[in-house]
Amino acid sequence: MPLPEKMPLALIEDDEIVRQATSQWLQLDGHQVLEFADGESALNQLPPDFPGIIISDVRLPDIDGMALLPRLLERHPEIPVILITGHGDVDMAVKALRDGAFDFVEKPFDPARLLQTVARALETRRSQTAQQDRHAYLAQAEGLEKVLIGRSEAMVRLRQQLLKVAAIDTNVIIYGETGCGKELVAHCLHQFSTRNQREFVPINCAAIPENLFESELFGHEAGAFTGAVKRRVGKLEYADQGTLFLDEVESMPLNMQVKVLRALQENTVERVGGNRPIHIDLRVIAAAKEDLHHHPEFRQDLFYRLNVAQLYLPPLAERSEDILLLFDHYTHQVNPDTRLPSPSDQQALMRYPWPGNVRELKNIATRFALDPSLTVGEILASRPNLTTEPSSATLPLAIQVQNFERKVIHECLQRHHGSIIDALEELDLPRRTLNQKMQKYGLSRSDYT
Ligand SMILES: Nc1ncnc2c1ncn2[C@@H]1O[C@H](COP(=O)(O)OP(=O)(O)OP(=O)(O)O)[C@@H](O)[C@H]1O
Ligand SMILES: [Mg+2]
């Protein structure tokens, strides 16, 4: 839905001279004004989905403005209502704010002050409407669009490509920076393929110690080496007829690259210590952060085998249309009643460079939804930039300490691949304390597993 460029103002004022003068100021400022001489006619004529804001005098002939306010808000709970109060009605004004008025302007008023208040109210209204539009989009999304969220041109195109590629059972390489959604895309490729009744088997090539790699991938027979007590089925065999996901494939040791290539060429695996080739039927999806073509540490024959199709995930900062959409999606997931991000919250979100991409946005949104006292700016300031060292000299000590604490926990979870037990031991913390700190810093176990 395109958002209306110009939002109407409803002006409720019984004094005809004042009403006309006010209306004129507003129109000269470029606004479209609907005039009402009393409260009832405004209540009757404004549609429930009135897209603008309301400015109302509190002294009206038919209904007291203070009684009108709750009735207006009952019908139009979102709409900012600016009240015009008589001189000296401070108590009334305070009560009005408590009851949900957007602001009040004291009579006789300075037109510039009224116009400023109107501009702020319109800005709030605009961001409400934009958020409603995003929520409506998220609610109607179905299938792939509901999982791989985004309205930017890049995401729309990616979903189209993904569905095409999913249908043609070929190997795929997915490129993208950290936290961009490579694993999510790999999962979607599997879900939307004919192999979706079989296993999706992820292997993080950067996380497996080199000496365990072969047994992890190819399995072993009992007694194949010291410690191989029982027979073990490797990941390639386990993924038979399903999808094998080679994450961080550029980290695969060179000798393993040779073996994986042979397995893919011959469609067979041999368990370590076994002498019988086992037939496998695999689709391989690989994810990489670096270009594998001409990569000095990546075998080009394996590259060509994998590179039948390619999907490229642009960094979040390059698809800024998706930032608020994903923010709304994640805050809504944590708490459907999360407050509307203020204009400065939204600016902070739009300006931030997002080195950790969607994963980082998800963490920020989660913290925003969990702690109503925080602004986005505060959350971002208390968060170490995970890719570059922040110039911490200018930050208050308390924030530097928090940044450091967050970094220690983040790196510990990374080292232990999200194992809370190992992290507790290393940090020597009670579980409750670690949980609280992880929540405070928006760290989620699942991002490390
Ligand atoms: N377009 C998207 N819509 C909804 N969620 C997304 C989207 N992109 C990423 N995410 C979420 O962001 C988080 C990070 O995504 P994912 O783990 O797939 O990234 P990645 O590219 O594999 O990162 P890394 O390179 O660090 O492994 C996940 O929780 C994922 O569900
Ligand atoms: Mg990943």
For 371-411, the pLDDT digits (tens) are 999 999 999 988 765 544 444 455 556 667 777 888 899 99
Instruction: Kindly give the pairing relationship between strand 232-233 and strand 243-247.
Output: unpaired
The more confident residue out of 285 and 14 is 285
Question: 5, 51, 9, 7: which is closest to 26 by C-alpha?
Answer: 9
> Are the C-beta atoms of 214 and 202 separated by less than 8 Å?
no
Ligand 1 centroid to Cα of residue 181, in Å, is: 3
Q: Ligand 1, residues 147, 157, 183, 443: which to mutate, most atoms within 8 A of Cβ?
A: 183
pLDDT score of 329 more than 80: yes
Closest C-alpha to ligand 1, atom 25: 178
The response to whether residue 144 sits with its C-beta less than 6 Å from ligand 1 reads no
Ligand 2 centroid to Cα of residue 445, in Å, is: 14
pLDDT score of 224 more than 70: yes
The response to whether residue 317 sits with its C-beta less than 6 Å from ligand 1 reads no
pLDDT in tens, 264-282: 999 999 999 988 999 999 9
Question: 405, 321, 315: which is closest to 360 by C-alpha?
Answer: 315
pLDDT band at 5 (very low <50, low <70, confident <90, very high): low
All domains in the chain, ordered by first residue: 8-139 (3.40.50.2300), 144-313 (3.40.50.300), 320-447 (no CATH)
| Ligand number, closest to the Cα atom of 356 | 1
Atom of ligand 1 nearest to the CA of 362: 12
pLDDT score of 442 more than 80: no
pLDDT score of 253 more than 90: yes
The response to whether residue 288 sits with its C-beta less than 6 Å from ligand 1 reads no
The more confident residue out of 365 and 228 is 365
357: helix, coil or strand? helix
pLDDT band at 1 (very low <50, low <70, confident <90, very high): very low
Identify any residues that bridge with 57 across adjacent strands, giving them in sequence order. Answer: 84
pLDDT score of 12 more than 90: yes
Ion ligand 2: protein residues whose beta carbon lies under 5 Å: 183
Distance CA 283, CA 213 (A): 20
Question: 166, 159, 153, 176: which is closest to 358 by C-alpha?
Answer: 176
The response to whether residue 148 sits with its C-beta less than 6 Å from ligand 1 reads yes
The response to whether residue 362 sits with its C-beta less than 6 Å from ligand 1 reads yes
pLDDT of amino acid 399 = 63
pLDDT of amino acid 197 = 97
User: DSSP E strands: which ranges in 234-389?
Assistant: 243-247, 268-269, 278-279, 283-288, 309-313
pLDDT in tens, 148-190: 999 999 999 999 999 999 999 999 999 999 999 999 999 999 9
Q: Is the peptide bond before 108 cis (omega within 30 degrees of 0)?
A: yes
Q: Mean pLDDT over all residues of the chain?
A: 90
| DSSP string over 27-80 | HHTT-EEEEESSHHHHHHHS-TT--SEEEEES--SSS-HHHHHHHHHHH-TTS-
pLDDT of amino acid 159 = 97
Hey, what are 236's tokens? 């390639």
| Ligand number, closest to the Cα atom of 144 | 1
pLDDT of amino acid 110 = 86
pLDDT of amino acid 388 = 45
The response to whether residue 178 sits with its C-beta less than 6 Å from ligand 1 reads yes
pLDDT band at 2 (very low <50, low <70, confident <90, very high): very low
221-228 own/partner pairs: CB under 8 Å, 24+ apart: 221/271, 221/272, 221/273, 221/274, 222/273, 223/273, 224/271, 224/272, 224/273, 224/274, 225/272, 225/273, 228/272, 228/273
30: left (phi over 0), alpha (psi -120 to 50) or beta: left
Question: What does the pLDDT average to over 100-112?
Answer: 88
pLDDT of amino acid 395 = 55
pLDDT of amino acid 389 = 44
Atom of ligand 1 nearest to the CA of 174: 21
Contacts of 426 (CB under 8 A, 6+ apart): 412, 415, 416
372: helix, coil or strand? coil
Identify any residues that bridge with 311 across adjacent strands, giving them in sequence order. Answer: 174
Query: 362-377 in b/e burial notation, b at 16+ Cβ within 10 A?
Result: bbbbbbbbeeeebebb
Q: Which helix (H) or strand (E) holds 154?
A: helix 153-167
Q: Ligand 1, residues 161, 184, 185, 334: which to mutate, most atoms within 8 A of Cβ?
A: 184
Atom of ligand 1 nearest to the CA of 182: 21
pLDDT of amino acid 244 = 98
Hey, what are 5's tokens? 């460029």
Contacts of 90 (CB under 8 A, 6+ apart): none
Hey, what are 73's tokens? 């808000």
293: helix, coil or strand? coil
Q: Which helix (H) or strand (E) holds 397?
A: helix 397-415
Distance CA 261, CA 140 (A): 43
| Ligand number, closest to the Cα atom of 328 | 1
Question: What does the pLDDT average to over 222-228?
Answer: 84
Ligand 1 centroid to Cα of residue 313, in Å, is: 10
pLDDT of amino acid 68 = 87
Atom of ligand 1 nearest to the CA of 322: 1
| Ligand number, closest to the Cα atom of 446 | 1
Distance CA 418, CA 48 (A): 49
99: helix, coil or strand? coil
> Are the C-beta atoms of 311 and 172 separated by less than 8 Å?
yes
Closest C-alpha to ligand 1, atom 7: 181
Percent of the chain with pLDDT over 90: 68
| DSSP string over 221-289 | -TTSSTT--S-EE-HHHHTTTSEEEEETGGGS-HHHHHHHHHHHHHTEE--BT--S-EE---EEEEEES
The position carrying tokens 């994640």 is 330
Q: Which of 39-53, 222-236, 392-406 has the lowest mean pLDDT?
A: 392-406
Question: What does the pLDDT average to over 347-351?
Answer: 93
Hey, what are 61's tokens? 């002939």
Ligand 1 centroid to Cα of residue 184, in Å, is: 6
Q: Ligand 1, residues 155, 156, 158, 180: which to mutate, most atoms within 8 A of Cβ?
A: 180
